Amino acid sequence: MDKKKAILAIDGKDPIELNILRGSLGCQELDIRTLGAQGYFAFDPGFTSTASCQSSITYIDGDKGVLLYRGFPIDQLALNSNYLEVCYILLYGEAPNVKQFHDFKISLTHNSLLHEQIYNLLRCFCRHAHPMAMLCGMTGALAAIYHDSMDVHRKSHRDLIAIRLLAQMPTMVSMCYRYATGKPFVYPCHDFSYSGNILYMMFSDPSETYVINPILERALDCILILHADHEQNASTSTIRTAGSSGANPFSCISAAVASLWGPSHGGANEACLLMLEEIGTIENIPVFLRRAKDKNDPFRLMGFGHRVYKNYDPRAMVMREVCHEVLNHLEVKKDLMEVAMELEYIALHDSYFIERKLYPNIDFYSGIILKAMGIPSSMFTAIFAMARTVGWIAHWKEMYDEGIKISRPRQLYTGYTQRNFNSKITS
Ligand code: SDX
């Protein structure tokens, strides 16, 4: 079938023909790869209109509020699957059968212990260091542990790297919490589920038998599923860019952790809870909404808005239901939930937010659940990083499977034209 073409006519010069690419879903895309050789670059800071790669992992329809992991809708996975099964789907493309799932679980179990040097590294941080700073350090340090046993050009090694990272991220994240609270480290226990193990490593007391709360175990597992992947977001684009040079994947994960930490990205869940606590009561909402709309005020409504979703983030819908379940089960105060729901209602009826298609995103309700579970707000983004590790690794592996090409964008130069140098500090 003939490829559709676009014709680019510039300054009356010979028209430039561009192929139009069409994926299995989503909008048509202009293939501009030949433009550079013809002396033109596309200018698109923030990549609002640029596809950086092709991928078959996750699809988002921002206008319809659709999110698919390997074609499976996020709400079906959140309600009917578990995080490890979703990890398998993201990494290998298909749902596992019973044996495949069992083997996958066993491989993670056998790789969940961290090298003791990582425990020693963690002890070098101040106790009050932000968990994301510690996580950046620990993930990067794994490159010093595994640097000589990993040939990223061998698929079997890339598969092992994925298993090691998936298996060890919960241990590292739990360690950050234990270290910050002065509690002894708890090693992973093979008897528990992936999410149960996280609760065990974070909250158990070595002097007592720890009983996992199944409601909280299920809630955490759902939160991990909702955060697992989200196509070319800033941190995933970071691991693709860092990995495109062939860099050690553990260092690349550290770069992705750093990117996720930003308040415009994964740091928004911590920022959102702090915002809800600052608002405090429903009566204070109008003041904060005015600030959010004031161009001269840097304040943004945390947990609201999204580069891609111009409709309700489907993950936020599931998160809101999980929030009600956890708060009802724990019989905790719902004051923050009431502020969040009233804030959402008022904003969604306000022309400023309606005109800009600003809706709650994944970070709007997640903090309320995590706080109710006893997780401090400083740990929220580390929980997000733990969940997103599978997405980062899936994209890193896909980049190799597709044949990596170093990322090297160009620029619109606005500096001096050439001029002669005369030093002002030497006579
Ligand atoms: C995540 O990319 C991903 O997929 C990320 C993520 C994932 O799973 O990986 O989904 C996770 O990062 C979710 C987003 C978390 N961040 C926040 O909740 C922080 C608050 N949100 C904003 O900072 C903002 O909405 C962004 C950063 C999320 C998106 O910014 P864009 O796409 O660059 O949009 P923009 O800044 O150009 O805003 C367009 C307009 C502007 O107003 P005008 O100049 O047109 O008058 O909307 C306004 C903005 O001022 N606006 C907001 C707002 N978000 C956008 N105004 C008030 N409050 C907000 N939250």
pLDDT (0 to 100) of residue 39: 87
* CA 313 to ligand 1: nearest atom: 10
Closest residue by Cα to residue 178 from 139, 216, 142, 131: 131
pLDDT at residue 1 greater than cutoff 60: no
The answer to whether residue 365 sits within a structural domain is yes
- Among candidate residues 130, 227, 363, 395, the one labeled active-site is 363
Task: Name the residue with the closest Cα to ligand 1, atom 55.
Answer: 305
The enclosing domain of 314 has a CATH number of 1.10.230.10
Distance 264 CA to ligand 1 centre (A): 7
**Domain of 76, in residue numbers:** 67-262+376-401
The enclosing domain of 386 has a CATH number of 1.10.580.10
Query: How much is the average pLDDT of 53-67?
Result: 96
Torsion (CA) 261, 400, 394, 43 in degrees, nearest 10: 50
pLDDT at residue 185 greater than cutoff 70: yes
Are residue 380 and residue 367 in the same domain, yes or no? no
Are residue 352 and residue 383 in the same domain, yes or no? no
The answer to whether residue 56 sits within a structural domain is no
Are residue 282 and residue 244 in the same domain, yes or no? no
Are residue 172 and residue 155 in the same domain, yes or no? yes
Q: What is the Rg, in whole angstroms, of the alpha carbon atoms belonging to the chain?
A: 23
Q: What is the pLDDT of residues 73-90, one digit of tens each?
A: 999 999 999 999 999 999
Are residue 347 and residue 363 in the same domain, yes or no? yes
Are residue 111 and residue 22 in the same domain, yes or no? no
The answer to whether residue 196 sits within a structural domain is yes
- Cα separation, 118 vs 116, whole angstroms: 5
DSSP secondary structure, 84-95, as one string: HHHHHHHHHSS-
Distance 379 CA to ligand 1 centre (A): 22
pLDDT, mean over the chain: 95
In the chain, % of residues over pLDDT 90? 92
pLDDT (0 to 100) of residue 2: 58
Query: How much is the average pLDDT of 319-331?
Result: 94
**At 13, is the pLDDT very low, low, confident or very high (cuts 50, 70, 90)?**
confident
306 in catalytic set: yes
Are residue 115 and residue 229 in the same domain, yes or no? yes
pLDDT at residue 377 greater than cutoff 90: yes
Are residue 291 and residue 216 in the same domain, yes or no? no
pLDDT (0 to 100) of residue 3: 73
Are residue 368 and residue 380 in the same domain, yes or no? no
Query: How much is the average pLDDT of 110-133?
Result: 95
The answer to whether residue 294 sits within a structural domain is yes
The answer to whether residue 358 sits within a structural domain is yes
- Cα separation, 290 vs 364, whole angstroms: 18
Are residue 237 and residue 277 in the same domain, yes or no? no
Q: What is the pLDDT of residues 253-290, one digit of tens each?
A: 999 999 999 999 999 999 999 999 999 999 999 999 99
Does the beta carbon of 140 lie inside 6 Å of ligand 1? no
Structural domain total, the chain: 3
Task: Name the residue with the closest Cα to ligand 1, atom 40.
Answer: 356
Are residue 244 and residue 113 in the same domain, yes or no? yes
State the first-to-last Cα distance of the chain, in angstroms, to the nearest integer.
70
The answer to whether residue 420 sits within a structural domain is no
Does the beta carbon of 4 lie inside 6 Å of ligand 1? no
